[in-house]
Amino acid sequence: MNDTVTGSAQGRAVLAFDGDCGFCQAAVRQIQLRARPRTAAVAWQTLPPELTEPHLERLDREVLLFDGDRVRAGGVAALAALLGSSPVRVLRGVGRFLRLPPIRPAANLVYRWVARNRQRMPGGTAACAVPRRHG
């Protein structure tokens, strides 16, 4: 088990993203380079199955912020928390901005649109496409 997973099990927050998606990898890499967040970001595929299996449908569609063995936030709220853990003041401010009640609905719409179209985004490939829901 790697340190990030151990940290998650000990209550350290971990942002889980789709490691099979080139766009997701590139986006998280850019956030890590610029924001240097204290919250770890790892491909969900590297986390223990007992942690991820109950959330597979969500993990295919959005980033999730795990705090120990529970999901603390998803989508924009998870990204806002990641930015909120940055030592870079302006990026912490962006994280707070995304959580503001008048901004949050628009940010969620943009996030969902990007997530549905991530195969078309820079770095995206056909493997990035969000699986269609059955039913």
Residues 55-107 pLDDT 10s: 999 998 999 999 999 999 999 999 999 999 999 999 999 999 999 999 999 99
Task: State the pLDDT at residue 129.
Answer: 83
Task: State the pLDDT at residue 40.
Answer: 96
Tokens of 16: 């889980």
Give the residue-averaged pLDDT of 124-128. 80
DSSP state for residue 127 in the 8-state scheme = G
Task: State the pLDDT at residue 19.
Answer: 93
State the pLDDT confidence band at 132, using cuts at 50, 70 and 90.
Answer: low
Cα 125 to Cα 13, 81, 84, 117, distances in angstroms: 29, 27, 29, 10
